[in-house]
């Protein structure tokens, strides 16, 4: 029912995205119904206490002061003090509980969208701007949450206030109360006319914000390169241009919102002035009491305030709909990888990886990566995969890790199609050390155990020794507990590389992949590292990706990926290897 009501407020013909988004939104609100009902009781109680104040003021003036009844005056004043004190306490409790509820819903929404993004393939992230994703996860979800919770309680409080104040106005003077019946419909017509303008300008502002976020995400990690080529002024000018574009759009939105609210406010002021003019004449002519006029003016403000709040909610719905559509676009992205409903058990022991007539093509780039490729990766052997840059070597590893599924053919592990295996468990059987080593802003120990969160301190210390990280640990004031910076920028390339090797050791995989992991060092150093890895990972399948000559000299198998063809390029003592 509520979803339908909001849909009609958004538009006479709401889009499927809005309807779907509203159902998703309120699936997170429904579990909080008890808390919401409790807050509504507090909100209603506070609203009723506020409604009492003008009537007490009327009694104080007409029945206390003007009537000369001091004992009644004292009682009314005490009543006003009690009502104010209780209303203040209820307001404080309400604010605390409201903040807690808002936080729960906000983080639940964000976690749900983040969890969905984690299921999407690298292809999705390759075509989306990171700043735009951050804008949707942060600003748009916050806007949705504010509507879901804040607007709900604001509407409840406003409706109670509007009904209560209207009743009081009619009790004081039904003739003057007719002014409200004229005012509110006029304001509603105006806001309905301005609805589309607010939505359009808000959508454009969100896009400008995404441009800013994307710029910062792109340039801040590249500051060293920007400085090296002397392009600081250029990037500063780009930021200035983006900032000016954002500011101009913000000002456009401010102008639209100003006129959206200014016209109703002006109508309200005129209505209040007319009420004072007519009511004042009645008081002067003795037809009405002064306290009643003051109370009526106060209740008129209490009617107009909630009415404007409800009408403002109408505008807020349009802004929320923009954010809801942007977030729904993310949620509508379908994962390319389907998880098996009833996955088969993984092999108990390390098993052989085999490509069976695999073909794969990047649709966006229209680039054939593999065409009819077959290959074996036998257990415990060292396999070198070579080919020119851009030939698809890293994409082949993505296929092995099942970030993509082949367009044709399949990949088996232990004789079972990997699409039938538990995805998370299978991926843990493979460890990839690439040239772009991922490190997080966390302790060194936490970075080492990232792929094996249950690893003990003794196990961590063992892989530190195996990967020759003792010197690094000794140089850090807090040792393994030392906090690394974002991406481990305070470390050298060699140190980051050894952390990645130690992390792979701790993960204890069946298959280790070195994806151009040693491309930043010279040939002699690369050979020494490869020999070291051969010793550390003896008995495990090792796949070494490199385009350097000589890397395959001591390999058991050497595959080459060239022009979309995967083939064996060197004689092998292994029998039955597909070529």
Supply the pLDDT for residue 106. Answer: 87
The full DSSP string for 208-276 is: HHHHHHHHHHHHGGGHHHHHHTT-HHHHHHHHHHHHHHHHHHHHHHHHHHHHHHHHHHHHHHHHHHHHH
Supply the pLDDT for residue 60. Answer: 84
Supply the pLDDT for residue 231. Answer: 81
45 burial type by CB count under 10 A (0-12 exposed, 13-18 middle, 19+ buried): middle
Question: Which of 554, 120, 543 lies closest to 355, judged by CA?
Answer: 543
Q: Which residues pair with 355 in a beta bridge?
A: 375, 411
Question: Which of 168, 197, 192 lies closest to 180, judged by CA?
Answer: 168
Question: Which of 396, 401, 406, 398 lies closest to 359, judged by CA?
Answer: 406
- Homologous superfamily of 353-568 in CATH? P-loop containing nucleotide triphosphate hydrolases (3.40.50.300)
Q: Using CA atoms, how far apart are residues 33 and 96, in angstroms rounded to an integer?
A: 17
Supply the pLDDT for residue 413. Answer: 93
Under DSSP, the state recorded for 344 is B
Q: Using CA atoms, how far apart are residues 562 and 557, in angstroms rounded to an integer?
A: 16
Which helix (DSSP H) or strand (DSSP E) does residue 511 occupy?
Answer: strand 511-515
Q: Using CA atoms, how far apart are residues 125 and 110, in angstroms rounded to an integer?
A: 18
Q: Using CA atoms, how far apart are residues 21 and 2, in angstroms rounded to an integer?
A: 13
Q: List the strands of the sheet with 382-386, edge to edge.
A: 430-434, 511-515, 541-545, 382-386, 557-562, 565-568
Q: Using CA atoms, how far apart are residues 91 and 208, in angstroms rounded to an integer?
A: 37
Q: Using CA atoms, how far apart are residues 144 and 25, in angstroms rounded to an integer?
A: 8
pTM: 0.71
Q: Using CA atoms, how far apart are residues 294 and 299, in angstroms rounded to an integer?
A: 9
Supply the pLDDT for residue 421. Answer: 92
Which helix (DSSP H) or strand (DSSP E) does residue 433 occupy?
Answer: strand 430-434
Alpha carbon dihedral 51, 56, 61, 63, in 10-degree steps, equals 130
Strand, helix or coil at 356? strand
Question: Which of 539, 537, 538, 542 lies closest to 555, judged by CA?
Answer: 542
Query: How far, rounded to the nearest angstrom, does the alpha carbon of residue 390 sit from its chain's CA centroid?
Result: 32
Within 10 angstroms of residue 9's Cβ, the number of other Cβ atoms is: 18
Tens of pLDDT along the chain (579 residues)?
444 445 544 554 556 767 788 888 888 888 888 888 888 888 888 878 888 888 888 888 888 888 888 888 889 889 888 888 888 888 888 888 888 888 888 889 989 998 888 888 888 887 888 878 888 888 888 888 887 777 777 777 777 778 888 888 888 888 888 877 777 777 777 877 877 787 788 888 878 888 888 888 778 877 767 877 788 888 889 889 998 998 999 899 888 888 887 887 788 778 778 888 888 888 888 888 888 888 888 887 777 677 667 766 766 777 788 888 888 888 888 888 888 889 898 888 888 999 998 888 876 555 666 776 788 899 989 888 888 777 788 888 889 999 889 888 999 999 999 999 998 889 889 988 887 888 888 888 988 888 888 888 888 888 888 888 888 888 888 888 888 877 777 788 778 888 888 888 888 889 989 887 666 566 676 677 777 778 878 888 988 887 666 665 678 888 888 877 887 775 444 444 444
Which helix (DSSP H) or strand (DSSP E) does residue 514 occupy?
Answer: strand 511-515
Supply the pLDDT for residue 411. Answer: 92
Do residues 482 and 447 lie in contact, with contact meaning Cβ atoms separated by under 8 Å? no
Compute the half-sphere exposure of residue 254: CA atoms within 13 Å on the CB side of its CA: 6
Within 10 angstroms of residue 272's Cβ, the number of other Cβ atoms is: 16
- The token duo for 371 is 């065409």
Do residues 243 and 184 lie in contact, with contact meaning Cβ atoms separated by under 8 Å? no
Helix axes 174-219, 232-284, angle to 10 degrees: 170
Residue holding tokens 């002014």? 179
Supply the pLDDT for residue 312. Answer: 66
- What are the residue ranges spanned by the domains of the chain? 2-214+255-331, 353-568
Q: Using CA atoms, how far apart are residues 311 and 208, in angstroms rounded to an integer?
A: 27
Question: Which of 519, 376, 330 lies closest to 437, judged by CA?
Answer: 519
Under DSSP, the state recorded for 384 is E
Rg of the chain over all Cα atoms, to the nearest angstrom:
34
- The token duo for 34 is 């008890």
- The token duo for 59 is 């009694």
Question: Which of 475, 476, 536, 528 lies closest to 500, judged by CA?
Answer: 536
Q: Using CA atoms, how far apart are residues 84 and 465, in angstroms rounded to an integer?
A: 69
Supply the pLDDT for residue 576. Answer: 42
Alpha helix segments (H runs only) across 118-173: 122-127, 130-135, 141-145, 152-172
- Homologous superfamily of 2-214+255-331 in CATH? ABC transporter type 1, transmembrane domain (1.20.1560.10)
Supply the pLDDT for residue 548. Answer: 64
- The token duo for 140 is 């748009």
Q: Using CA atoms, how far apart are residues 393 and 398, in angstroms rounded to an integer?
A: 9
Do residues 310 and 163 lie in contact, with contact meaning Cβ atoms separated by under 8 Å? no
Alpha carbon of 111 to those of 65, 136, 141, 195: distances in Å?
A: 60, 13, 10, 31
């Amino acid at each position: 029912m509520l979803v339908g009501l909001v849909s009609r407020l958004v538009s006479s013909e709401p889009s499927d995205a809005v309807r779907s988004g509203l159902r998703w939104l309120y699936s997170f609100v429904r579990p909080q119904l008890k808390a919401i009902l409790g807050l509504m009781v507090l909100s209603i109680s506070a609203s009723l206490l506020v409604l009492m104040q003008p009537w007490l003021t009327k009694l104080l003036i007409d029945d206390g002061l003007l009537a000369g009844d001091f004992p009644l005056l004292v009682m009314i004043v005490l009543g006003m003090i009690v009502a104010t004190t209780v209303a203040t306490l209820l307001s404080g409790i309400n604010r605390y509980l409201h903040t807690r509820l808002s936080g729960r819903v906000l983080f639940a929404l964000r976690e749900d969208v983040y969890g969905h993004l984690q299921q999407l393939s690298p292809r999705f992230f390759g075509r989306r701007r990171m700043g735009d994703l951050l804008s949707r996860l942060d600003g748009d979800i916050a806007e949705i949450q504010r509507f879901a919770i804040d607007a709900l309680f604001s509407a409840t409080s406003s409706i109670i206030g509007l009904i209560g104040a209207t009743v009081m106005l009619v009790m004081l003077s039904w003739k003057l109360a007719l002014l409200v019946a004229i005012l509110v419909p006029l304001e509603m017509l105006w806001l309905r006319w301005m609805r589309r303008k607010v939505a359009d300008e808000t959508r454009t502002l969100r896009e400008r914000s995404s441009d800013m976020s994307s710029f910062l995400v792109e340039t801040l990690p590249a500051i060293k390169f920007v400085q090296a080529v002397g392009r600081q002024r250029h990037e500063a000018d780009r930021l200035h241009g983006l900032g000016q574009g954002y500011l101009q759009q913000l000002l456009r939105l401010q102008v639209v919102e100003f006129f959206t609210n200014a016209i109703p406010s002006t109508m309200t002021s005129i209505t209040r002035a007319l009420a004072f003019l007519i009511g004042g004449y009645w008081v002067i002519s003795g037809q009405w009491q002064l306290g009643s006029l003051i109370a009526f003016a106060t209740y008129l403000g209490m009617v107009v305030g909630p009415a404007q709040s409800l009408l403002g909610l109408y505008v807020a719905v349009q802004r929320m709909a923009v954010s809801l559509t942007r977030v729904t676009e993310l949620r509508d992205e379908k994962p390319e990888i389907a998880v098996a409903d009833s996955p088969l058990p993984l092999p108990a022991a390390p098993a052989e990886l085999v490509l069976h007539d695999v073909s794969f093509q990047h649709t966006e780039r229209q680039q054939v990566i593999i065409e009819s490729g077959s290959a074996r990766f036998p257990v415990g052997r060292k396999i070198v995969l070579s080919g020119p840059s851009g030939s698809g070597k890293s994409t082949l590893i993505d296929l092995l890790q099942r970030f993509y599924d082949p367009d044709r053919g399949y990949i088996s592990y232990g004789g079972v199609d990997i699409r039938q295996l538990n995805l998370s468990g299978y991926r843990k059987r493979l460890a990839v050390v690439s040239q772009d080593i991922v490190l997080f802003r966390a302790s060194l120990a936490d970075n080492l155990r990232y792929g094996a969160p249950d690893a003990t301190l003794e196990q961590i210390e063992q892989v530190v020794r195996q990967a020759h990280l003792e010197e690094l640990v000794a140089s850090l004031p807090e040792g393994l507990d030392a906090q690394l910076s974002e991406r481990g920028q305070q470390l050298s390339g060699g140190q980051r590389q050894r952390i990645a090797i130690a992390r792979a050791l701790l993960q204890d995989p069946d298959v280790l992949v070195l994806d151009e992991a040693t491309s930043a060092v010279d040939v002699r150093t690369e050979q020494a590292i490869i020999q070291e890895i051969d010793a550390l990972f003896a008995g495990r399948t090792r796949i070494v990706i490199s385009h350097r000559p000589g890397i395959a000299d001591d390999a058991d198998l050497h595959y080459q990926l060239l022009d979309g063809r995967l083939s064996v390029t060197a004689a092998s003592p292994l029998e039955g290897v597909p070529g």
